[in-house]
Chain A
Amino acid sequence: MTFLPTGEQRAFARSLDAMLTAADTPAAVRAWAGDDPGPGRALWGRLAEAGVCALAVPEEYEGTGLLPVELAHAFVELGRHAVPGPVVETVATTVLLGELARLGDPDPAKRLLPALATGERTATLAIAGAEGVRHSVPYALDADRADTVLVVRGEELWRAPGHGQVRGSADPARRLARPAPGGELLAKGPAVAVAAGQARRWAMLATAAQSLGVGLALLDRTVAYARQRSQFGTPIGAFQAVKHRLADTLLALEFARPLLFGAAVTMTPGDLAAAKVTTGEAGYTAARTALQIHGAIGYTEEPALSLWLRKARPLRDAWGDPAACRAAVLGAYS
């Protein structure tokens, strides 16, 4: 047992970090939230070039084979840089299509999967709630910007003809739309539900990793602020009330991290649910801490801090909210 990232995994994460730092990601986030998806798409292309879109794709469809630990490392970096777009949903779609192929229905994978793996095309995914509202994913994230909009309805996989009205999210860089009804039926049968379950597990992993990355970015920025902001003639980071809140934030993130990577190693439902709820809560804790310690400046949208601040809570709830995850942890406990 060596529960440490390999040198290669570390180097992969570092290279993504360097690339996203050099790419002026905050400007791409703001453009994505506005009317210009161009910089976001350019960023996507570079991530795909680095292999990020191929990490959950079988080799026969231009992928790397399934690499959940590498995927978790990549998505921590995507979260640390607040990368916009349906990145999680594209991963979930690749898993869905790959799993369908593995279960004996390769046609949708042949048609759609290679272009998703290479980053030529993007996808988003909604899962209509056969199991109740809490378990459905009614909004397809960024459906107006994705090339392919898929919907799972029970045991049917549909390619939607488009999307309805786009609604804003609490995070302006997330755009929510319900897929339009009808379209093309791509697959049908019990395998669709099984593949959708697998897609959901990978979406949980990727979202959990993003949450951790968002939390780490918020903590870094807030520690830097607490060191340079002075009041009463002293840096506010010297005050014990401030220190202890930041210490608790680090604690939450550092105990969420091993759950994330443990889940990536085992991919069991219990570990994934534990990772999702814990990273989500830790990311949101970091957001509350960041807002409180920045004070009024943190309540404004101009500083880049707001890019992460508004992302933490939607990610906490996407692809399995805390209540659903806690129930899943106990359901999986033997």
Chain B
Amino acid sequence: MDLSYTRAEEAFRAEAREWLRDHVPAEPLPSLETAEGFAAHRAWEAELAAARWSVVSWPEEYGGRGVDLARWLVFEEEYWAAGAPGRVSQNGVQLLAPTLLDHGTAEQRARVLPSMATGATIWAQAWSEPEAGSDLASLTSRAVRTDGGWLLSGQKTWSSRAAFADRAFGIFRSDPDADRPHRGLTYLMFDLRAPGVTVRPIGRLDGKPAFAELFLDDVFVPDKDVIGEPGQGWRIAMSTTGNERGLMLRSPGRFLAAADRLVRLWRTEGDPADSALRDRVADAVIGARAYQLFTAGAAARLTTGAPSGAESSLNKVFWSEYDLALHETALDLLGPDGELADGAWAEGYVFSLAGPLYAGTNEIQRDIIAERLLGLPKGRR
């Protein structure tokens, strides 16, 4: 067992650190969840992309550097330690791009990925529906065959940043007569400004329009924007959520940086006699290290060719609960200032509240852990 970096990895780290030191904005950008902040974050993606730092793990032909998992982890550590902005293109980068790399055509990859890498096109996810949340396979939005493509209709919701995004990807019911709910679904990409699309922003708990619902009324999608075979949408989407829950969604670097900020806050604001709060700060340090080492092991297993499967559910429950506990500790350290809506930790706290909900609720994840990792019998949800 080895935790050392190669010289090449250290050189890569130094290169990333130097670039970030010279380019990360001195002042935090406005909130990602506002029109102004969205535009500022989009411009930051272009700046990253110009130096080929926006999608380091992608193949070079699409704007990446083709680096392995170990170097991706190194980049993420440096990125978050540098206090760099949140990633406005993350839904596309983390969900759609791996899907296209696994299931898309060469034409689709060449057309979609380069503009995703620069932030010129920002993608939103169109999966959940008002009546299909945890039970996603019960979705009812339709894709109906037409000349040269498909017509989409129905309602999608909880689509993060769709109020500002350019395009969306989602799954639709293309064969209502299929014998099982998860059969007869098709995975498609569509333009959020196409005729027939209505986007209604929804305020999050802090009032920022972080979500939207999408109303689709005979929206035309050409055949070239279907991913994989029609009817295979569920299988393709689940391979994406495996990725989403797995390594790429929340890198350890993010939590190492957050724990570091928390320790600094505790050293300036903490009451040394308050051992209960001190223990929670220690748990944040321990949790970030646990997540870093867990990920190092998972990355090593992936490198040996082992599949990432239900283990990613352990990962998702861990980081989502960790992130929330860390932010709650920060607010407690701030005392009366913890209530301020524009406090340094306020937006992160509101964001962390959503962690146990999205990307598959933690209850669904615990069912997966129990059934697939522990071998317990299936039961009613």
Report which A residues bind B (CB closer than 8 A).
1-6, 9, 69, 223, 226-227, 234-235, 237-240, 242-244, 246-248, 250-251, 254-256, 258-259, 261-262, 264-266, 270-271, 274, 277-278, 322-323, 326-327, 329-330, 333
Contact = CB atoms under 8 A, between A and B. Distances in A.
Nearest to B3: A265
Interface stretch (B88-96, B146-154, B284-292): B284-292
Most-contacted residue by chain A among B282, B287, B366 (CB, 10 A):
B282
A246 B372 CA distance: 12
Nearest to A219: B374
A317 to B, nearest CB: 15
A278 B286 contact: yes
Most-contacted residue by chain A among B304, B369, B374, B378 (CB, 10 A):
B374
Interface string B18-52: 00000000000000000000000000000000000
Contact of A262 (B3, B278, B374, B377): B3
Nearest to A252: B318
Contact of A2 (B1, B291, B369, B380): B1
Given A4-B304, A247-B370, A258-B294, A239 B375 contact: no
B268 interface: no
Contact of B370 (A69, A246, A254, A278): A246
Given A254-B294, A326-B286, 15 more contacts: A2-B300, A3-B293, A5-B1, A240-B367, A243-B371, A243-B374, A246-B374, A254-B314, A255-B318, A259-B286, A261-B297, A262-B3, A262-B293, A330-B285, A333-B285
Contacts of A242: 376
Contacts of B5: 1
B296 interface: yes
Most-contacted residue by chain A among B1, B3, B373 (CB, 10 A):
B1
Nearest to A330: B282
17 contacts: A1-B5, A223-B375, A237-B377, A238-B379, A240-B363, A243-B374, A250-B373, A251-B317, A255-B314, A258-B296, A262-B3, A274-B290, A278-B286, A278-B290, A329-B282, A329-B285, A330-B278
B263 interface: yes
A243 B314 contact: no
A73 to B, nearest CB: 9
B351 to A, nearest CB: 22
B281 interface: yes
Contact of B377 (A6, A238, A327): A238
A198 B251 CA distance: 34
Given A243-B370, A326-B279, A1 B300 contact: yes
Contacts of A244: 363, 366-367, 370
Most-contacted residue by chain A among B275, B285, B367 (CB, 10 A):
B285
A247 B371 CA distance: 9
B141 to A, nearest CB: 29
Given A1-B296, A250-B369, A262-B3, A235 B286 contact: no
A234 B303 CA distance: 41
Query: Which A-B residue pairs are the 4 nearest by beta carbons?
Result: A238-B379, A258-B293, A243-B370, A326-B282
A265 B290 contact: no
Nearest to A325: B282
A243 B286 contact: no
Contacts of B375: 223, 227
Contacts of B377: 227, 234-235, 237-238
Contacts of B371: 243
Given A3-B296, A327-B282, A330-B278, A240 B381 contact: yes
Given A244-B370, A330-B278, A6 B1 contact: yes
A173 to B, nearest CB: 28
Contact of A247 (B289, B299, B374, B379): B374
Contacts of B279: 322-323, 326
A333 B291 CA distance: 17
A237 B375 CA distance: 9
B290 A258 contact: yes
Most-contacted residue by chain B among A5, A247, A330 (CB, 10 A):
A247
